Amino acid sequence: MEQLIHEFAQFLRQHLTSISVGIVATVLMIYGSYINGFFKKITRKMPFVARFALFIVLCSAGYAFISALMVRLFKMFLLTQADMPLIGILAGTFILLAILAYRGKEV
């Protein structure tokens, strides 16, 4: 059984970049409307053109920066985990994201 767990963990390690991208993208999909709402709230008093330009910057550069940074940090964190914690963290993360998406009516 230990050999099977090790092989599965090695398989996951080979695909950590894709797994991390999927997790970060899902988190941003679930909480993107909250981020946009907060951004709208803090830029409310600005002229329309400035608000529009800042929103474009947020969507193009801001989300790209957040995604790249979070993917790198999450992947580095996962690479430091032993076999069983790695499997548990990933399974727990996907279950938690499913619950959050369901509660947020994203599903």
Q: How many residues does the chain have?
A: 107
- Is pLDDT of 8 > 70? yes
Longest dimension (CA), the chain: 63
pLDDT computed for residue 49 by the predictor: 93
15-34 mean pLDDT: 93
pLDDT tens-digit readout, 27-63: 999 998 899 899 889 999 999 999 999 989 988 898 9
pLDDT computed for residue 5 by the predictor: 93
C-alpha to C-alpha distance for 7 and 83, rounded to whole angstroms = 9
C-alpha to C-alpha distance for 73 and 20, rounded to whole angstroms = 9
When pLDDT is cut at 50, 70 and 90, the band that residue 78 belongs to is very high
- Read off the pTM: 0.84
